[in-house]
Structure formats: C-alpha cells, structure tokens
Amino acid sequence: MIDNEKLNLILASNSKGRKALLTGANINFLAIAANIDEDIIKNRNHSLGFSPKQTAQDLADEKAIFVSLQNQTALVLGSDQVCHLDNEILNKPGNKQRLFNHIKKLTGETHILTSAFSIALNGKIIFRHSDDALLTMYELGDEDINTYIAKASDDVVNSAGGYHLEAVGVQLFKKIEGSYFTILGLPLLPLIAFLNDYQTK
C-alpha cells in the first residue's frame, strides 16, 4: 500500500476526473494546474507526423515538467488524454454545437482514447506510461445525438471524447475494449505500481 505520510505528490492538473480517481484510490496529492499551450504541442506534432499516442505522452511530459520546475522536491504527475479516429486527433468539443458534430463523427465508428501520464522530479521525467482503449459507438441519428446532449452534463464538452463513460455516455457504446481507468483519463494501476516501487527504493 502507498504510504501517504511519505508521499509528496502533485497533480499537474485541475481535472475533476483525475482528482476524483486519485482521491478514490486514497492517494494524497496537491493539485496545481500546468499553464502550457497544448495547441502548440499538438500543431508541432501534427506537422512532424507524430502519432496521437506520442502527442498524448508529450503533453503529459510538458505538464509534469512545467510544474516540477517550480516544485523540485515533489513527484509531479502530468497526464493527458486524446481522442483519435483514423490517426486524427479530435479536439475537445468546447460547446454543445461542436459536441453534436463531434459525436456525429464518431457514430458507428471505433475510435481510440489514449491516456498518458508522466512523472517528473526536479524538472526531469523519471517515468512515463500510456495506454489505449477502443470504443465502438452505435449508429446514432441526429435525434439520438440531440437526446444524448440534452441528458449529458454540461461539462462533457470539456472531455476528450465528448462523453463521460461513468454517466449517460455509456449508452452510446456497443463495445468497449480496454481499461476503465484509461477511459476515465488516468491509467491508475500502472501509476500505483510506480508509486509503490518508488517508495520501496
């Protein structure tokens, strides 16, 4: 078990979902948002032909390093998730109109959620991990999509896929392959394994 009395962990994010996962797992942490421009990294990686998985990991790296440079004695956890279809990253919808178009693009398709995390200490990455989940959505008509949007919470527009699997969003899917924690945005089991190993060194 993780010894919270000896753990000095910072989550480089104000994500409600990630904070809830860590709290639920009884992992003590302090949350400090990483003030980075994600679009710069996404545009750079796109121009270089990098995979969505690499982009998720690079975003996690940058968040961890940014906060670690200001908190050099703490372990800093940076994490990111990208939704991609046919090797194209789909950005968070941001509003309900874009949410409709976002879900319409995913309907009937199998898309991938890649969740990555990085651990930084003293401004350097000491551990990183990424994982994929495959989600196959039902064929949805416009009325189905509008019904979903009406029932979903407002903050789904800020999630990578445009849904929360732990809520009404689960009804969109006919098949899911992968870790539940990866879908929620943080591969929790590899993180716990790292923290346990780190504390025994």
**Which residues on neighbouring strands pair with residue 136, listed in sequence order?**
110, 175
For this structure, is 58 an active site residue? no
36 burial type by CB count under 10 A (0-12 exposed, 13-18 middle, 19+ buried) = middle
**Which residues on neighbouring strands pair with residue 31, listed in sequence order?**
11
Contacts of 187 (CB under 8 A, 6+ apart): 115, 116, 117, 129, 130, 131, 179, 181
User: Please, what is the Cα angle at 114 between 112 and 120, to 5 degrees?
Assistant: 175
Identified catalytic residue from 58, 61, 80, 131:
80
Buried b (16+ CB within 10 A) or exposed e, 89-124: bbebbeeeeebbebbeebeeebbbbbbbbbbbbeee
Specify whether the CB–CB gap between 117 and 79 falls below 8 A: yes
Indicate which residues carry an active-site annotation.
80
